[in-house]
């Protein structure tokens, strides 16, 4: 009988982080180009970044996790989402966003571009076997 690995709630925390960061970007974008209070967006950004950090720390402490597969997938996903975040940043710059709103939007895009690859890579790596564990045949 196979033992099920206990992994932290990476998907749940990641989706919460992603939801908060999307809410921050929508809040700021909806109020531009007029003056916008940065307080709510900064609070959402801070909580989202803390959740991302907690997610990575919790995952780092998980025993038997397939880090090689995680990093293999995360690199390519990070490349894709860095390009997406760069294109969105270009739109904000092109629309003359500046000052505090631009800084908060840029940091929000960074959190977005890190959160999604963590989610994608975790989804793949959670079903892989870590290097130290023996591979099991489907017949056993």
Phi, psi of 52 (to 5 degrees): -60, -45
**Model confidence over 100-132: pLDDT tens digits?**
999 999 999 999 999 999 999 999 998 888 765
Q: How far lies 109's CA from each of 81, 93, 124, in Å?
A: 9, 13, 23
**pLDDT recorded at residue 33:** 83
Q: What number of residues does the chain have?
A: 140
Q: What is the pLDDT of residues 44-63, one digit of tens each?
A: 999 999 999 999 999 999 88
Q: Identify the pLDDT of residue 23.
A: 96
Rounded Cα distance between 14 and 65, Å, is 17
Listed by start position, the domains of the chain span 10-125
HEC string for 26-70: HHHHHHCCCCCCCHHHHHHHHHHHHHHHHHHHHHHCCCCCCHHHH
In contact, 97 and 105? CB cutoff 8 Å: yes
């Amino acid at each position: 009988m196979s033992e099920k690995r206990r992994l932290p709630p990476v998907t749940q925390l990641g989706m919460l982080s992603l939801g908060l960061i999307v809410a921050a970007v929508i809040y700021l974008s909806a109020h531009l180009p007029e003056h916008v209070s940065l307080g709510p967006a900064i609070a959402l950004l801070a909580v989202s970044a803390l959740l991302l950090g907690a997610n990575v720390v919790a995952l780092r402490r998980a025993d038997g996790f397939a880090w090689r597969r995680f990093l293999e997938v995360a690199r390519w996903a990070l490349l894709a989402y860095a390009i997406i975040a760069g294109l969105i940043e270009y739109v904000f710059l092109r629309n003359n966003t500046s000052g505090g709103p631009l800084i908060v939007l840029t940091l929000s895009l960074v959190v977005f571009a890190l959160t999604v690859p963590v989610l994608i890579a975790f989804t793949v790596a959670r079903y892989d076997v870590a290097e130290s564990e023996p591979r099991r045949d489907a017949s056993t």
